A and B are shown apart, each in its own frame.
Chain A
């Protein structure tokens, strides 16, 4: 029984494209399908509403903006995957990031989850609230955490186009 599906969690940070490139390279080398997930973090918006830092209309605008950013980055990754000739699908979701990634990875019966690097040092609060940390702990399948952007770029070039 070989690998069939790799899922990559896209956080929307500046290093997201590096994470995506490594996932694309892996999918190409292993000849498997790649599924990219972007989750609009509704929990953080709800928390900011509850603490009165945000008002309703403002939270809705942020949600829309995050959704647009997510759609744009998934579109970009989709083109990159197409260029490399791999089977690709993406999902733009909303909710608690770690819950959504966990549920989708489980639903897709993912064989591998690729995610970005976590910060080297985290405070107790950060560890408790960080969604990346939660994904790492809860993932239903093995995880690859992407490090070393220079190596990733080199590998991505090496796998060549379609």
Chain B
């Protein structure tokens, strides 16, 4: 399962306009809604925030992966946002988050979604990937880094 197949230029926001966890999630959900990947934006956001209540999805190394299954999305959806300032996600390592992957899945695509999350997790565990990913300045560069490491 290649993550780069699910990440589009249009779903990457390289400079988020928001400064809080909820606002960033809303900004990225809006990007997906505008691409007609989300049928009910408020329901999607509600499920993502409910998931955050169980524990932060800030996984360390300045990355957060807010996510949830919900019938409000079509298939598996991914949006990426970068915050230059950093956002308090209550990450376990106490660091602010600069890179956010908002993900959702329709329950029918659970198997694909889980594999995709696992792929992202493996990539983010790779120090060289993290370095190149952090240096990517445009959506094209970002997707190119994923493609390079998924060859």
**Measuring CB to CB, which residues of chain A are less than 8 angstroms from any residue of chain B?**
11-13, 41, 44-45, 47-48, 51-53, 55, 57-58, 62, 65-66, 69, 123-126, 129
Provide the residues of chain B in CB contact with A48, threshold 8 Å: 114, 117-118, 121
B59–A53 CB distance below 8 A: yes
B117–A53 CB distance below 8 A: yes
**Measuring CB to CB, which residues of chain B are less than 8 angstroms from any residue of chain A?**
1-2, 51, 54-55, 57, 59-60, 65, 67, 69, 92, 107, 110-112, 114-115, 117-119, 121-122, 124-125, 149-151
Query: B63 to nearest A CB, angstroms?
Result: 10
A58–B54 CB distance below 8 A: yes
Provide the residues of chain A in CB contact with B122, threshold 8 Å: 125, 129
Could you jot down 9 A-B contacts, CB within 8 Å?
Answer: A13-B112, A51-B125, A52-B59, A53-B67, A53-B117, A62-B110, A123-B2, A126-B1, A129-B118
Provide the residues of chain A in CB contact with B67, threshold 8 Å: 53
B57–A53 CB distance below 8 A: yes
Provide the residues of chain B in CB contact with A12, threshold 8 Å: 110-111
Distance, CA A66 to CA B69, complexed state (A):
12
Provide the residues of chain B in CB contact with A125, threshold 8 Å: 119, 122, 149-150
Query: B137 to nearest A CB, angstroms?
Result: 24
B111–A47 CB distance below 8 A: no
Query: B53 to nearest A CB, angstroms?
Result: 10
